A and B are shown apart, each in its own frame.
Chain A
Amino acid sequence: MLGWVKAVVFFLSLAPLARLGWLGVHGGLGANPIEFITHSLGTWTLVFLLLTLAITPLRRWLHVPALVRLRRMLGLYAFFYAALHFVPYLWLDQFFDWAAIAKDVVKRPFITAGFAALLLLAPLAATSTTGMIRRLGAKRWQRLHYLIYPAAIVAVLHYLWLVKQDLTQPLFYAAALAILLGYRVAGHFRRRWRSADT
Chain B
Amino acid sequence: MPTNAPGNIQPSEITPRAVYLQRRRFLQVAALSAAAGWLPLSAEAGVKLTTTGKSPLSTSEPPTPLKEITHYNNFYEFGVDKFSPAQRAGSLITHPWNVAVEGEIRRPNVYSIETLMKLAPLEDRIYRLRCVEGWSMVIPWVGFPLNALIRQVEPTGNAKFVEFTTLYDPEQMPGQRSPVLSWPYVEALRLDEAMHPLTLLAVGLYGEVLPNQNGAPLRLVTPWKYGFKSIKSIVNIRFVEHRPTTTWMKASSREYGFYANVNLHIDHPRWSQAKERRIGEFFKRDTLLFNGYAEQVASLYRGMDLKKHF
Contacts and interface: CB of A to CB of B under 8 A. Distances in A.
A7 interface: no
A104 B282 CA distance: 20
A108 B255 CA distance: 13
A35 B136 CA distance: 13
Interface residues of B, number: 27
B272 interface: yes
B82 A165 contact: no
A166 B277 contact: no
A164 interface: yes
Contacts of B277: 32, 34-35
Interface in A1-52: 30-32, 34-35
Nearest to A167: B180
Interface in A86-114: 92-93, 95, 104, 107-110
A148 interface: no
A165 B180 contact: yes
Contacts of A162: 270-271
A35 B135 contact: yes
Contact of A108 (B252, B272, B283): B272
A32 B135 contact: yes
Given A31-B71, A109-B270, A166 B80 contact: yes
B82 A95 contact: no
Contacts of B67: 31
Contacts of A31: 64, 67-68, 71-72, 82, 279-280
B272 A165 contact: no
Interface in B63-100: 64, 67-68, 71-72, 76, 80, 82-83
Contact of B270 (A93, A95, A108): A108
Contacts, number: 49
A164 B275 CA distance: 18
B91 to A, nearest CB: 20
Nearest to B178: A166
B267 interface: yes
A4 B270 CA distance: 45
A161 interface: yes
Contacts of B133: 164
Nearest to B68: A31
Contacts of B272: 104, 107-108
B149 interface: no
Nearest to B228: A164
Interface string B170-182: 0000000010110
A160 to B, nearest CB: 11
Interface in B234-262: 251-252
Contacts of B252: 165
Contact of B282 (A30, A34, A107, A108): A34
13 contacts: A30-B83, A31-B64, A31-B71, A31-B279, A32-B135, A34-B282, A95-B283, A104-B272, A108-B272, A164-B133, A165-B180, A165-B252, A166-B80
Query: What 9 pairs between A and B have smallest CB-CB spacing?
Result: A31-B72, A31-B68, A166-B80, A166-B180, A31-B279, A165-B180, A92-B283, A32-B279, A31-B71
Given A32-B82, A162-B271, 17 more contacts: A30-B71, A30-B82, A30-B83, A31-B64, A31-B71, A31-B280, A32-B72, A32-B279, A34-B282, A92-B282, A108-B271, A110-B270, A161-B270, A162-B270, A164-B133, A165-B181, A165-B252
Interface of B: 64, 67-68, 71-72, 76, 80, 82-83, 133, 135, 178, 180-181, 251-252, 267, 270-272, 275, 277, 279-280, 282-284
Interface of A: 30-32, 34-35, 92-93, 95, 104, 107-110, 161-162, 164-166
